[in-house]
Structure 1
Amino acid sequence: MVNFTKKELARNPMITVRKLGVLLSKSDRTFENEGVLNPAVIEEDGVIHMFYRAVRRGNHSTIGYCRLSDPTTVSERFDQPVLVPDNASDSQGVEDPRIVKIDGTFYLSYTAYDGYQAMGCVAMSEDLKHFRKYGLVVPQVNYKDFRNWVTQSGKINLKYFRFDQCSTVLWDKNVIFFPRRINGKLAFLHRIRPGIQLVMVDDLNDLTPEFWKRYFLDFKKHIVLDPAASHETSYIGGGCPPIETNSGWLVIYHSVRDTIEGFIYVASAALLDIDDPTNEIARLPYPLFEPEFDWEKRGEVNNVCFPTGTIIRGDELYIYYGAADEQIAVASVSLSQLTEELLKNHKTT
């Protein structure tokens, strides 16, 4: 059980977030001797499954697995990774998993890294034991084409062109599926800096080069969230799979700001329209929570709270996050309190 003390109560202006501490740390196993972080979490038949990024020395990542008997208790931990690099696109690592169940199939999305490019991928399973890699689900276009196409979609944040290197492939990661089809379509969030975008398709095989060209020519309408508040001035990106509520899709995402101490990664929250997630209903104007304890402030990368998975028990929302890119921690918050506070910050048009 995670030890909880009163000093680990974190309060933002209107919402009480309980920092419950570190849930999982690196071990002496070779595949995770540098760090564990950024877990995918799903509950199935009363069992909580956690798939986490495991890093061995040299920054090579695989996906490890552990089982939880309750939201804060690890009951079993595998000695070997469950998903490993096996092709050129993920030769350096498979990173940052998220997981949902759609139509009886588990979709585990992750980032493939070849030492140079980071690209969103997905693997699928029917039993949470055996996964088959579908492969890339993001565009393979260069920055020059990206710029040429998206400038035809209307005025957008100039930071979309900040990483324009003309001859290199566009970085597109943080692929996160919605836990059900929306209007009959598979839907997933993805991240081209500095914002978060939405894709909706009948089938993943629809993601052809022609699809992506049309998508970028109308890029502006696919942007779900762009940086807005002071804690997300650098960029934002997807976090946990969206949670369906009576008020909309609750999205816990990460926001980044640049300081004299470097980047600071915080957890943020927004509500999106149930039928049209490109319609932002509300957003917290401040972080849901941010680095404040040693396990969040000092690690492989300092000052990081990177949320990637959730579990709901009654009204309590447990949020699992990478802490300083080295450990996995958990926080909790009242779901109704969070939703109520979000609705006080309704977006005005």
Structure 2
Amino acid sequence: MAIQKLGIMLEVKKEGIVLSKSGPGFEVEGVLNPAVIHYGDYIHMFYRAVGKGNYSSIGYAKFKTPLEVVERMDVPIIFPQFEYEEHGVEDPRIVRIDELFYLSYCAFDGVNALGALATSPDLITWTKHGIIVPQMMFDEFKRLAGTKSKLNEKYFRYNEHEGIKEKNGKKVMIWDKNVVFFPRRINGKLHFLHRIKPDIQIVCVHKLSELTPEFWQNYLLRFKDYVVIYPKLKHEISYIGGGCPPIETKEGWLLIYHGVYDTIKGFVYCACAALLDLEKPDIILARLPYPLFKPEHEWELHGMVNNVCFPTGAIVSNDKLYIYYGAADEHIACTSVSMTELLSELMLNLK
């Protein structure tokens, strides 16, 4: 297994593929972009499974160690049930807050891709709460978000949908994906990251019921104030998005996110790292000036979508950070790195 040397002291080890599609059925086209959580004696993985016609559901596997699968369901644990997700439930992330599991995912209705949420007390029974991000067309977003300051032109490029207002009988909305919750309340509030291209934004509320259309209208009036990270480095210059749920350390919240850059062969997705302030997570303290890891092996370079390392879940075990990611939108792979070394390297790159 290859070891990729980065920076002065940081070693990132590609552990390889940990889960592949199991054959005919709900994951015949691929498995990717998993949520993971260490609870009880096991690591629980909830992953995107792609069936025929690009219809996605969420499968489940149980790991005894970070790399050892001991159980796997042969049917999806979460699947499309409502109109807002009728074409797929995609790209889950999971945390546990106040003894309740929060599984955020992307709901795709065939036209719009929007952040949604399901919760569970036991990882078995799930209650869906619907879409939790703004549901609005680009013109309204542009009007609100551009009130206080001029919008970056990339917001037009990625969200205007070539001026299409309606498709398949549905209004075309701005896409708001990659909803990632922090794993505890901060100053009594729930915090989550979300992504309207090209930046990563943050939201904080006391309770989910606050996320009304009026909330989002007021939020967008001060939209620029809620941008946590924007693309500025070569390996993320096209756009960025949330990855794994933030990990609390004494130096700050460790955030593994994805960065995207364009090449003559198309977009390349890589894993990036940053530190956010513990009490004010809208403040970025540091970020690696290079990708933590990027596509280099055949199973990352070629697949359903080429050149993709898409991190979505992570656990810490004995000072080792295991990062699980979608590889070329077809497999689930894992990378490991020393937490101590990664944090030390980030501290050398304080803003």
Class of the TM-score when normalised by the shorter of the 2 chains: over 0.9
Structure 1: how far apart are the matches of 2:42 and 2:302?
32
Aligned counterpart, 2:160: 164
Unpaired segments of 5 or more residues in structure 2? 166-171
Deviations 1:217-258 (A, max 9, x none): 001110010001000111000000000010111000000000
Aligned pair 1:69/2:67, yes or no? no
* Deviations 1:306-339, CA, capped at 9 Å, x for gaps: 0000111111000000000000000000011111
| Conserved 8 A contact 1:153-1:216 | no
- Superposed, 1:125-140 pairs within 5 Å as 125-140=120-135
Shift, 1:169, TM fit: 1.0
Q: Secondary structure at the match of 2:220?
A: helix
Aligned to 1:106: 101
One-letter identity of the residue aligned with 1:271: L
Q: CA deviation at 1:46?
A: 2.2
1:13 maps to which residue?
7
Alignment partners' CA distance in 2, 1:298 and 1:13: 27
* Secondary structure at the counterpart of residue 53 of structure 2: coil
The answer as to 2:181 corresponding to 1:174 is no
Map of 1:207 onto structure 2? 211
Q: After superposition, where does 1:9-48 map in structure 2 within 5 Å? A: 9-14=3-8, 15-48=10-43
Calculate the TM-score normalised by the size of structure 1.
0.96
Q: Indicate whether 1:222 and 2:226 are aligned.
A: yes
- Determine whether 1:255 maps to 2:259: yes
> Corresponding residue for 2:291?
287
Determine which of 145, 148, 157 is the counterpart of 1:153.
Answer: 148
Cα pair 1:55 1:61 within 8 Å, conserved: yes
Query: 1:344 aligns to what?
Result: 348
Residue 241 of structure 1: which of 238, 245, 253 is its match?
Answer: 245
Measured on the aligned residues, the alpha-carbon RMSD in Å equals 0.9
Confirm or deny: 8 A CA contact 1:122 1:135 kept in the other structure. yes
Amino acid at match of 1:164: E
Deviation at 1:158, TM superposition (A): 2.2
Q: In the alignment, which residue of structure 2 is the partner of 1:186?
A: 190
TM-score by length of 2: 0.96
Q: Who is 2:117 aligned against?
A: 122
Identity %: 56
- Which consecutive residues of structure 1, in runs of 5 or more, have no partner in the other structure? none
| Deviations, residues 102-157 of structure 1 (Å, cap 9, x unaligned) | 00000000000011110000000000011110111000111111111111232443
Number of residues of Structure 1 aligned to a counterpart in Structure 2: 341
Equivalent residues of 1:188, 1:200 under 8 A apart = yes
Runs of 4+ in 1 over 3 A off after TM superposition: none
Whole-Å Cα distance in 2 between the matches of residues 223 and 92 of structure 1?
29
Q: Hey, what does 2:329 align to over in structure 1?
A: 325
